[in-house]
Amino acid sequence: MANTFALILALATLVTGIIWCIDKLKWAPARRAKLAEVKAQTGDAIDEATLAKVAKQPGWAETAVSVFPVLALVFVVRSFIYEPFQIPSGSMMPTLLIGDFILVEKFAYGIKDPITQTTLIETGHPKRGDVAVFKYPKDPSLDYIKRVIGLPGDRVTYDPLRKELTINPGCGEASRCDTALPVTYSNVKASDFVQTFAGFDGNEAGNGFFQVPPGDTLRGGLRLAERSETLGDVTHRILLVPEASSQVGSYFRQPGQPVASWVVPQGHYFMMGDNRDNSADSRYWGFVPEKNLVGKATAIWMSFEKQEGEWPTGVRLSRIGGIH
């Protein structure tokens, strides 16, 4: 869908741009020449209304010429500078909530062709802890947003019982693979979020996330747990479902690696959602190629109170600001 819109916008900009150029270079001078000729023949005997009809610009051409500058500006900003996205699911809670509207810095990971995603100019690469938007590797028509956990050459190990990460950088060189990145966790505490489920065993996909003050309850809901995770010098909050067991049997199995351990290939990244037990991420479908990267999420510019697939019920102005 995202690529389709980019293609439509590019084609609309191209077509209106061609019409704008032809009008400026050919049609407009011809209209002026015709007006001058009519004036020379009639003098002051013809009124302005009649003159306007003599060399009237066709309506379709007038529309194209008028909208081209707007389309060109939108195309440049959306393709190379910033693009707005809406958060449709709870996989990045508590960092991003359903209904958040974010700005994604398109040039953070390279200036790219908006249609083919080919890198035209390299400007940088993802860092651990970045919140990044990318094309879902199994279906590039879909945009996903997750946190960058593993860089090229990292060995990422996830303990499904403790729900903790171990990261060993530089595993492309065996002599350095035993060096571990400092990954630390705060104590687990109750979060402000309660999740409702289609079932009641705590393992099914959630159909709702609600902010409920500590001590209060929500019928059919389970209060999520929260802790801080620090990857090197980047600290962020993560959510856990206390009753959920990690679906290890569904994990992506990398040849030559044990279950729940992956070595990130060169030119690829390992992504995970902050809502760890409610995120379909690299643990399940593998690595994200660098060419799939869209940009870095930098700010929330609007936020609506809503649930997945439902209409907004309010506005959360307090959430407007930077993303961490």
- Please, are residues 269 and 126 in contact by the beta-carbon 8 Å criterion? yes
Q: For 227-249, how does the pLDDT look when each residue is reduced to its tens digit (9 = 90+)?
A: 999 998 999 999 999 877 778 99
* Mean pLDDT along residues 286-297: 96
Burial class (CB in 10 A: 0-12, 13-18, 19+), 114: buried
Choose between 65 and 48: higher pLDDT. Answer: 65
Q: Which of 30-44, 122-136, 197-211 has the lowest mean pLDDT?
A: 197-211
Q: Which of 85, 86, 81, 108 is nearest to 98 (CA)?
A: 86
Kindly list the domain boundaries of the chain, sorted by start residue.
2-80, 87-322
Q: Which of 47-56, 174-183, 218-227, 298-307 has the lowest mean pLDDT?
A: 47-56
User: Would strands 155-159 and 164-168 be described as parallel, antiparallel, or unpaired?
Assistant: antiparallel
The model carries a pTM of: 0.86
Q: Taking the CA atoms of 189, 195, 197 and 203 in sequence, report the sign of the dihedral they define.
A: negative
Q: Which of 16-20, 204-208, 240-244, 290-294 has the lowest mean pLDDT?
A: 204-208
What does the radius of gyration of the chain's CA atoms come to, in whole angstroms? 27
Query: CATH homologous superfamily for 87-322?
Result: Umud Fragment, subunit A (2.10.109.10)
Question: Does an H or E element contain 70, and which?
Answer: helix 59-76
Residue 204 has pLDDT above 50, yes or no: no
Which residues are the active-site residues?
A: 91, 146
Residue 252 has pLDDT above 50, yes or no: yes
* Mean pLDDT along residues 285-310: 95
Q: Which of 78-87, 108-117, 181-190, 299-308 has the lowest mean pLDDT?
A: 108-117
Q: For 112-169, how does the pLDDT look when each residue is reduced to its tens digit (9 = 90+)?
A: 888 788 888 999 999 999 999 999 999 998 999 999 999 999 999 999 999 999 999 9
Burial code (b: 16+ CB inside 10 Å, e: under 16) for 40-71 equals eeeeeeeeeeeeeeebeeeeebeebbebbeeb
Q: Taking the CA atoms of 44, 47, 51 and 52 in sequence, report the sign of the dihedral they define.
A: positive
- Please, are residues 208 and 214 in contact by the beta-carbon 8 Å criterion? no
Residue 95 has pLDDT above 60, yes or no: yes
* Mean pLDDT along residues 171-183: 77
Residue-level pLDDT at 94:
97
Distance CA 202, CA 244 (A): 5
Distance CA 260, CA 93 (A): 22
Distance CA 109, CA 294 (A): 8
